[in-house]
Amino acid sequence: MCGIVGYIGPKTATPLLIEGLKRLEYRGYDSAGIATMNGAGLESRKAKGKISMLEAVVEGSPVHGTVGIAHTRWATHGAPNECNAHPHHDCTGTIAVVHNGIIENYGALRQMLIQQGHKFESETDTEVLAHLIEAAMDDDPLEDAVIDALHLVEGTYGIAVISSRDPDKIVAARKGSPLLLGLGENEFYVASDVAAILEHTRQVVYLDDGEMGVLTRSGYEVLDLSARRVRKGVSRIDWDLDQIEKGGFDHFMLKEIFEQPQTIQNTMRGRLVVDEGFSKLGGLNLTRQQMLDLDRIIITACGTSWHSGIIGELYIEELARIPVEVEYASEFRYRNPIVTKNTLCVVISQSGETADTLAAMREAKRRGARTLGLVNVVGSTMAREDDGGIYLHAGPEIGVASTKAFTSQVIALALLTLKLARLREMSVVKGRQIAQAMLELPDQIQSILDRASEIEAIAEQFKNATNFLYLGRGYNFPVALEGALKLKEISYIHAEGYPAAEMKHGPIALIDENMPVVFIAPHDSVFDKIVSNIQEVKARGGKVIAITSQKEPVLEKLIDYEIRIPQTEDMLYPILSVIPLQLLAYYVAVKRGLNVDQPRNLAKSVTVE
């Protein structure tokens, strides 16, 4: 998500920091900032937009010194503007902090600090860190104050801190957000990503969670949060820059597929109340009574986001018993839809900028509906204009084919459903059962990813196919649509997703020995039904690739290739079953020699009608 770089040594810090930030721009950005120690005190500059904007600001109004920290932001709390850009400062202007991650208890900490007389300038969670360090700062070294502050914080962080009260030092600390120290010739770096410092050193020390790096002009040390020294090994980086930006993966799409154990955790973090089978959704902006009064929900979106919307419809109708309609945004905006004051219009969008979805949201608003955005990009137009929102926190998605945004959208819809359903008739026992199963999903996704080579082998068999059918039922019908879309987008193979039982009303005519048919057939409540559909395909010579969740003797003679996923609650299968389909599409496209991250004719964000 965001990026951090810091420098201490004999050289002027600014050009090194700006260059480091540019190397991190691929991770996404909406603003950037820099702070240096100029001998007399701290100087900082910030700018909204690309790093080149910050560069222009610094050119016009330079900051000086040989110690500094810098940050490129991809907003999570607070709009993407200059004020919310990092570094953040304490009241005295003697401390500067850059931060990646999310401080979950920042609301309570901010209140506490305001009561103690601290003045806040931004809307960010990060600013509490600067004030906490200020409150803890006495004549002891900076690292002691940082340790005291971090003991009060819940959530994730990778931070770098400088202070004019302990000027020849950078303190960096990590919990749940990557951070490393770079070791140069009489100079030291800190960075969230090795790309930022690769030009200057290949010797790095990776910090682990609960560790802190203290960089001075003469060396570095690593401490734990009890100020005890930790012995760390030095690693050598052999990758080139392109490999590093993609995290060692060949493509952003593959990197993003493999990020999903982490990204769905980020979507759930701080929101799932397992014991209560409930969710806390701070941005919903709906009173309990407004939620109880809802008589209709319209979900509107495009593409992959529309597919997650169909899963949302199934969730909400099944568990919260509120009627839901899912509409293509491009159709909704030109219809004459029935919208009442008790209608909630849920818009789903990775980018928050898709023209059709934005227009549909505005139309629903104009007709009196309340709007709720499930959006990934913080501060995007939809996120600014909706009445309430649930950010996905999936991090920047760069591959044009959406992957991690989809699973985060489904998680966000599950969280919304828990909230609405528990306010109505769903029991705590049922809610708890779903919440517990949700907690297991990251490890379950990882176990599928660990067997990616099996899916690659299947892709090898079908890389020259000209058509594919994807069939699923119930919660897995939208996954069939999503699997087909993924394949079409990046491999240019014609693919159709269908409800499995609908196949006999037409598409069955397509089936012959050249037709691969992907069945999403986990052991859920419609398993027996889908077995019949598999038999129908097999009887006509189709090649069956089945996604299953346990050994099924009944399928043994019917399927040609099996991809096993772990067992979960029926409603959560889409989050697991989509993973092999993303991988299948990816590997087929790679084997056809195609540009996976930028497929022809497609844009990441469709901002035109």
Smallest gap from residue 352 Cβ to ligand M6R (A): 7
Smallest gap from residue 175 Cβ to ligand M6R (A): 30
Site residues for ligand M6R, 530-549, by CB under 6 A, read none
* Cβ contact 519:526 at 8 Å: no
Nearer to ligand M6R, 353 or 524 (CB): 353
Nearer to ligand M6R, 148 or 385 (CB): 385
Rounded distance between C-alpha atoms, residue 22 and residue 216, angstroms? 25
- Which one of the spans 35-43, 232-240, 399-407, 499-507 is the region binding ligand M6R (CB under 6 A)? 399-407
Rounded distance between C-alpha atoms, residue 27 and residue 394, angstroms? 12
**Cβ-based burial of 226 (10 A; exposed 0-12, middle 13-18, buried ≥19):** exposed
Nearer to ligand M6R, 103 or 347 (CB): 347
Smallest gap from residue 600 Cβ to ligand M6R (A): 12
Smallest gap from residue 605 Cβ to ligand M6R (A): 5
Tokens of 376: 């990934």
Q: Which of 30, 43, 256, 489 binds ligand M6R (CB under 6 A)?
A: 489
Our finding on whether 598 is near ligand M6R (CB under 6 A) is no
Q: Which of 72, 263, 402, 491 binds ligand M6R (CB under 6 A)?
A: 402
Nearer to ligand M6R, 364 or 530 (CB): 364
CA distances from 276 to 281, 433, 434 (A): 14, 10, 11
Q: Does residue 591 carry a catalytic annotation? A: no
Buried b or exposed e, range 493-527, using 16+ CB within 10 angstroms = bebbbbbbbebeeeebeebeeebbbbbbbbebebb
Q: Which of 351, 417, 476, 491 binds ligand M6R (CB under 6 A)?
A: 351
Smallest gap from residue 364 Cβ to ligand M6R (A): 15
Q: Which of 126, 354, 408, 476 binds ligand M6R (CB under 6 A)?
A: 354
Our finding on whether 568 is near ligand M6R (CB under 6 A) is no
Tokens of 276: 């209560």
Closest CA to 488 of 519, 458, 514, 467: 467
Q: Is 24 helix (H, G, I), strand (E, B) or coil?
A: helix
Our finding on whether 357 is near ligand M6R (CB under 6 A) is yes
Beta bridge partners of 34: 45, 70
CA dihedral 219, 220, 221, 226 (to 10 degrees): 120
Our finding on whether 423 is near ligand M6R (CB under 6 A) is no
Site residues for ligand M6R, 298-327, by CB under 6 A, read 302-305
Smallest gap from residue 519 Cβ to ligand M6R (A): 22
Using N-to-C axis directions, what is the helix angle for 404-423 and 260-268, rounded to 10°?
30
Q: Does residue 2 carry a catalytic annotation? A: yes
Hey, which residues are catalytic here? 2, 604
| Residues engaged in binding ligand M6R (CB under 6 A) | 302-305, 349-351, 354, 357, 400-402, 489, 602, 605-606
